[in-house]
């Protein structure tokens, strides 16, 4: 399993040390770099594109950081875990965070929040891998099946034989490990092969 790359951005030396120590204890996680201000953090995000950024409120609130987050909202693949001393009330900035840790959270709760973000990353990586295992023709067949069409309708729509459709279905089931039409439909929605409103 590949390592989850983490950058720690915190103004406080002690906070950086604590976060580094916590990350070290988690399996398959690697701290790429530690930064202490927005300038360093933004440069690092532009060059290295880590999986996770652990960032404290001091660095978040620096203008360069807020500008970067606003400009790259939606494009940034790095998951952001924000660290605050207590409740965070800036709802506009909060939309950039995938998770929030507060300084009074205990160790188990902090690890649980970090692990939740890691799990969501791994899920995304798995779905990208799974869809990339399908050929373009298999994706086309899967899309039509997910829309509730029969094998005969799939064959007619793609101008292929019924036997070819059955072969494609077997290959799709084998590659994805999903046997039911409802399961294939869910997979197609999650991987954006179809939209919910098409059903």
- Of 107, 128, 149, which residue constitutes the final position of a domain? 128
Quick one: CA dihedral 114, 116, 120, 126, positive or negative?
positive
| Residues 127-164 pLDDT 10s | 555 666 889 999 999 999 999 999 999 999 999 999 99
Q: Judging by beta carbons within 10 Å of its beta carbon (0-12, 13-18, 19+), is residue 98 exposed, middle or buried?
A: middle
Residue range 43-48: average pLDDT?
91
Q: In this structure, what CATH number is given to the domain that contains residue 170?
A: 1.10.10.10
Is the model more confident about 126 or about 72?
72
Q: What percentage of residues in the chain have a pLDDT greater than 90? A: 49
Is the model more confident about 197 or about 52?
52
Quick one: CA dihedral 183, 186, 192, 194, positive or negative?
positive
Instruction: Look over the chain and give the mean of its residue pLDDT values, rounded to a whole number.
Output: 87
Is 142:193 a contact under the CB 8 Å cutoff? Answer: yes
Q: Judging by beta carbons within 10 Å of its beta carbon (0-12, 13-18, 19+), is residue 88 exposed, middle or buried?
A: middle
| Residues 86-116 pLDDT 10s | 776 665 667 788 999 998 888 888 888 998 8
CA of 87: how far to CAs of 82, 96, 104, in Å?
11, 16, 10
- Do both 103 and 25 map to the same domain? yes
For the chain, the domain total comes to 2
Distance CA 191, CA 171 (A): 18
Residue range 6-31: average pLDDT?
91
Q: In this structure, what CATH number is given to the domain that contains residue 103?
A: 3.40.50.2300
């Amino acid at each position: 399993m590949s390592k989850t790359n983490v950058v720690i951005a915190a103004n406080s030396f002690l906070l950086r040390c604590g976060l580094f120590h916590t990350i070290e204890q988690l399996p398959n996680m690697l701290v790429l770099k530690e930064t202490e201000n927005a300038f360093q953090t933004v440069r690092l995000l532009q060059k290295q594109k880590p999986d996770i950024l652990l960032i404290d409120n001091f660095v978040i609130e620096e203008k360069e950081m807020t500008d970067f987050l606003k400009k790259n909202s939606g494009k940034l693949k790095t998951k952001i875990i924000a660290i605050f001393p207590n409740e965070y009330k800036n709802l506009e900035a909060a939309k950039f965070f995938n998770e929030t840790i507060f300084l009074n959270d205990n160790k188990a709760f902090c690890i649980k929040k970090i692990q939740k973000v890691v799990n969501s990353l791994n899920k995304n990586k798995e779905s990208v891998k799974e869809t990339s295992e399908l050929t373009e023709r298999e994706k086309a067949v899967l899309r039509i099946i997910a829309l509730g069409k029969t094998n005969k309708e799939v064959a007619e729509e793609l101008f292929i034989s019924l036997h070819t459709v059955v072969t494609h279905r077997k290959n799709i089931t084998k590659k994805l490990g999903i046997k039911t039409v409802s399961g294939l439909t869910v997979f197609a929605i999650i991987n954006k092969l179809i939209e919910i409103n098409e059903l």
